[in-house]
Amino acid sequence: MHNRQTQFQENYNLAFTQKLKNKDIPESGSKGTVLMKQGKNEKANLAFSQYVDSIMDICLKAPGVPDSDKEEVIFLGPDENTAHLMDGACNYVHDRHYGYWRAFTTGKSNKLGGIPHDTYGMTTRSVRQFVEGTQRKLQLKEEECTKLITGGPDGDLGSNEILLSKEKIVGVVDGSGVLCDPNGLNRESLEKLAHKRVMVKDWDGKLSDQGFYISIDDTNVTLPSGEKVANGLDFRNGFHLWDGIKADFFVPCGGRPQSVTIDNVHKLFEKDGVTPRYGNIVEGANLFITDAARVYLQDKGVPLFKDASTNKGGVTSSSLEVLAGLSMDEETFSEHMCVREDGSVPDFYQQYASEIVEIVERNAKNEFEYIWSRSYEGPADKRIRSTDCTNQLSEAMNDLNDTVGSTDLYDNIQLRKMTLASHIPKCLIDKVGLDTIIERVPENYLRAIFSMNIAAQFIYQYGDVDSPYYFYKFMAELEEASQKEF
């Protein structure tokens, strides 16, 4: 009943965050949720198939239905624990003769030309730019910092946060329980769990005399400190609020939305109400902390970066996976984007995935630098909260994107080509050709790339400025460069 009552609001909040997150890719933001009846979770695959079927009914024209001026092009991307659904959906829409079936789902298996987010740690790579960027600005050594993670080694974010980092991890919380050691969990044993994609209940490493594992099924357990845990499930759910844990960094990589609210955020501080138990917070998981709690933390001096900025690596990867599917014909896509049955990986696929990783990290670093400069540098009276900066940055890009899209700038052929070429990975242009890509990709998608790219370039360079002079100057420089290049 609770899930049914909160489904719409949760879906709306996720979609709103997605809209903010998608500011520098052509896709807009949306979310879809399928709420299963109690006791029917084993039918989840069937429910998702029906969901996809209904989307195809929207996209595919039935006999006798007149053509519309605007073609519907819809893509689905994986969220936590849904990557396994992407292959079946891709194959299904192929069987229904959907023209863009190669791009319909993203994060699918590499045999279908997908670039799995978890394999390359795409989402985590953008999160890491905010963790490592903070360490760089504060002159902290990564391997000397302590860190708490919610979301375990069985998940995409949690596993890659372990594998791509060097911090001393003092606690991991997942579906099975809590694994904690204030002296730092053994790296080798943690990475073993992450490689196997299993929960912390399968931990086989050593713990110090202060370390412990509490299962969600445990009752009346005594911790090394002498404190008693009456209920393991309750302890797991509120572990990030427990006064026995502290760290230099808190990186939520999983967990329920609104796990930190204005009602419990005070528990993230020592008993003096001033000293934070987590020196820095980088949100990997969506909506883990409410807006009011974010404000409270920042006003108390805790550097915090919200989900709409930090975890956009996955959507960036998905967007460029879509672009490959739209740009290539079936034969080229099969030869250069699909890993073969014997497991051999085409050279182009490896190169394309590597370029996506570079783009993910570059975009995230650009956003980190923008936010840090406006939130943690310069005169104190000129600074704004990082979460407000995220919102303003996203809104400014989205607004300018809409404005550019309503002009005739796209009709300038040289400017169009240069702008599209700056977005499209070089190896894809080399393989297919820019003119061929422009010919194959739907025009509304190309227009979205064009307006988004110009908006992103301008805002990162000039910020959210009201004066039209700066935009005029910026566009004059772009047009001059495009005439020389094309």
37 flagged as catalytic: no
Rounded Cα distance between 371 and 378, Å, is 12
Rounded Cα distance between 373 and 12, Å, is 30
Phi–psi pair at 166, nearest 5 degrees = -125, 0
Tokens coding 440: 């194959």
Name 407's Cβ contacts closer than 8 Å, sequence gap at least 6.
none
Residue 66, classified by CB atoms within 10 Å of its CB into exposed (0-12), middle (13-18) or buried (19+), is: exposed
Closest CA to 258 of 238, 280, 230: 238
Closest CA to 258 of 6, 5, 4, 479: 6
Tokens coding 168: 């001393």
Rounded Cα distance between 312 and 314, Å, is 6
Rounded Cα distance between 306 and 283, Å, is 5
Rounded Cα distance between 259 and 287, Å, is 8
* Residue linked to tokens 């994107």: 401
> 3-class DSSP state for residue 150?
strand
Tokens coding 40: 């029917």
> 3-class DSSP state for residue 222?
strand
Classify residue 60 by its DSSP letter.
Answer: S
Rounded Cα distance between 248 and 243, Å, is 15
Point out which residues pair with 252 in neighbouring strands.
Answer: 150
Closest CA to 239 of 184, 316, 175, 322: 175
Phi–psi pair at 278, nearest 5 degrees = -125, 120
Tokens coding 397: 């890009």
Instruction: Choose the catalytic residue: 19, 31, 192, 417.
Output: 31
Element (H, E) at 221: strand 219-222
> 3-class DSSP state for residue 296?
helix
Contact (Cβ atoms closer than 8 angstroms) between residue 268 and residue 245? no
Closest CA to 397 of 337, 441, 318, 463: 463
Residues with catalytic function: 31
